[in-house]
Amino acid sequence: ELQTDINELTSDLDRAGIPYLDYRTYAMRVLFPGIDDHPVLRELEVPGNGQQNVEKALKLFGQLINNKVFLLTFIRTLEMQRSFSMRDRGNVASLIMTALQGRLEYATDVLKHLLSDLIDRNLESKNHPKLLLRRTESVAEKMLTNWFAFLLHKFLKDCAGEPLFMLYCAIKQQMEKGPIDAITGEARYSLSEDKLIRQQIEYKTLILNCVNPDNENSPEIPVKVLNCDTITQVKEKILDAVYKNMPYSQRPRAVDMDLEWRQGRMARVVLQDEDITTKIENDWKRLNTLLHYQVNRTTANIFDSSFRYTGSPDSLRSRAPMITPDLESGVKVWHLVKNHEHGDQKEGDRGSKMVSEIYLTRLLATKGTLQKFVDDLFETLFSTVHRGSTLPLAIKYMFDFLDEQADRHGIHDTDVRHTWKSNCLPLRFWVNVIKNPQFVFDIHKSSITDACLSVVAQTFMDSCSTSEHRLGKDSPSNKLLYAKDIPNYKSWVERYYADINRLPAISDQDMNAYLAEQARLHSTEFNMLSALNEIYSYISKYSEEITAALEQEEQARKQRLSYKVEQLISAMSFERTDT
């Protein structure tokens, strides 16, 4: 059932262009996930008439940020404050990297200092050295993620993006071959046991012939849908087919379109997820499907209805699966499975064990279909030789730096060195990208696709680990699913690290030339003054602690840095009270 489609899938994908996001959007999604309209993208605006003076003060602050003694003391001081939260750490790291986007040589030097500090602290604290870089508990770790994000963008576009996009498409297409519950997000085909429909759902595949809303005279487009799909799901599949070569953000949205079913020459019915024909039994309301309307093979027309919206109620506009009870009447909405039907939660442990064994075969079948795409991605990421592009300098440079640090501390345990590298690049950067392809491409990621990508990302991490994972009957299904592949992937990782080690070292001169070029290419992406203004809020919040720390630091005293900070604070506060 599954294998036949893979050939069709591969030939389908080769032709369509990959909708890469531009550098700025990509960088923002990695650095400030979830924030679309960030101040660093805009000109600084100061209320009142203090604009010029604030700009002047912030330019002075820019000189301070470009002073290594100041910047390192500033970061170390912030990290010692109890109220400086995990979120603040990530935010400061991202703001500093945006402020230094045009000075990547300097940013790299600061990052190496901070990482070196982190390694010293990690080894002094008698923590296991393998825990280094495992969790984002420092500004340095988040800065490292951002550093790779800046420097691996070209590699993503030239090389790693394609297999990642193919995997995303393959998962999406595979999941949509079977029923997906519009409310719970569970699917018949899944890599994730948590998102598997356990009930037997009867369904048929239909071919809809669709008229392109932009050009009614163009040939009809055949679209495969299921008779158990909700109307919104059908609309989304049609939009995917009609606009398949268009980035997601530029397509019409399902919620703004109507689906019209033409029967013969006269009858035209607009289909909706909920209307007067919707079935309600007891306190459960079932979303309308094609089967509900008794649609068989037919012609459908999807057209823009933004001027006469007849779509479904707001509760269904959300693209995330969720139970949306009709609060007034206490009615619960369902699609394929009622939420209380998840039997294994009630049956206790024995029930869920049974479920795992029964459904593992279905998970394995889905995994088999996607295997080629997972292999292609892992092989690309764990290889130093790529079609027409070489290993990014940033990776070799950072791995050599970690090896130097290990030498400096007399760490010769190969497992520790391997783990540092795994935590530095695969964990800090690649896992984030695998789980969130929407950071790289202009696409929509549904909850079922997200669940499957999480299983792939976990497998990717397991492949980088040096510890042996003992499998037993209680092991989670995703470990069992990839148990046979992981030893093979692990050998790829070991070979990759060994190959990088053998490459000739990069001179500081070459690295600096490369960093200067990257900085020049993207120096105008972010607004410097706005970034400095955001960082300044931490200066004003912790001004006493920062000036005290600068007083204690010998180099800082020589350069009268605490006096400069006080000057800055008075310039900024004078302006703010003035306005």
Instruction: Give Cα 107 to chain centroid, integer Å.
Output: 24
Domains assigned to the chain: 1-31+153-169+360-511 (1.10.506.10), 202-335 (3.10.20.90)
Q: Is the Cβ–Cβ distance between 565 and 65 less than 8 Å?
A: no
Comparing CA positions, the residue from 39, 40, 62 lying closest to residue 571 is 62
So what's the pLDDT on residue 347? 40
Instruction: Give Cα 528 to chain centroid, integer Å.
Output: 25
In single-letter form, the type of residue at position 308 comes to R
Looking up tokens 């206790």, which residue turns up? 348
Looking up tokens 């200092």, which residue turns up? 113
Comparing CA positions, the residue from 258, 280, 261 lying closest to residue 269 is 261
How far apart CA 58 and CA 69 sit, in angstroms, is 18
Tokens of 43: 């000109």
Comparing CA positions, the residue from 156, 129, 52, 55 lying closest to residue 430 is 156
Q: Is the pTM of this model over 0.85?
A: yes
Classify the C-alpha dihedral 376-378-382-388 as positive or negative.
positive
So what's the pLDDT on residue 518? 94
So what's the pLDDT on residue 529? 93
How far apart CA 394 and CA 151 sit, in angstroms, is 7
How far apart CA 212 and CA 32 sit, in angstroms, is 37
CA dihedral of 398, 91, 84, 541, whole degrees rounded to 10? 130
CA atoms within 13 A on the CB side of 572: 22
Comparing CA positions, the residue from 295, 171, 302, 321 lying closest to residue 235 is 302
**Residue 475 — φ and ψ, nearest 5°?**
-65, 145
Q: Mind giving me the DSSP string for 249-263?
A: GGSPPGGGEEEEEEE
Q: 548: phi > 0 → left, psi -120 to 50 → alpha, else beta; which?
A: alpha
Tokens of 117: 């500090």
How far apart CA 72 and CA 462 sit, in angstroms, is 34
Residue 74's alpha-carbon distances to 137, 150, 247, 340, 541, in angstroms, are 17, 23, 42, 53, 12
Tokens of 431: 């896992």
Q: Which residues contact 481 (CB under 8 A, 6 or more apart)?
A: 191, 360, 363, 364, 367, 455, 459
How far apart CA 213 and CA 257 sit, in angstroms, is 10
Q: pLDDT tens digits, the chain, 579 residues: what are they?
A: 555 656 666 666 555 588 999 999 999 999 999 888 899 999 988 877 778 888 889 999 999 999 999 999 999 999 999 999 999 999 999 999 999 999 999 999 999 999 999 898 888 876 677 677 776 678 999 999 999 999 999 999 989 999 999 999 999 999 999 999 999 999 999 999 889 998 889 999 888 888 777 777 778 888 899 999 999 999 999 999 888 888 999 999 999 888 888 776 667 788 999 988 899 988 899 999 999 988 876 555 555 433 323 333 333 333 334 445 555 567 889 999 987 654 444 444 444 555 566 778 888 889 999 999 999 999 999 998 876 678 899 999 999 999 999 999 998 999 999 999 999 999 989 999 999 999 999 999 999 999 999 999 999 999 999 887 777 777 777 788 898 999 999 999 999 999 999 999 999 999 999 999 999 999 889 999 999 999 999 999 999 999 999 999 898 889 998 999 898 998 887 655 544
How far apart CA 404 and CA 402 sit, in angstroms, is 5
How far apart CA 107 and CA 90 sit, in angstroms, is 16
CA gyration radius, the chain: 28
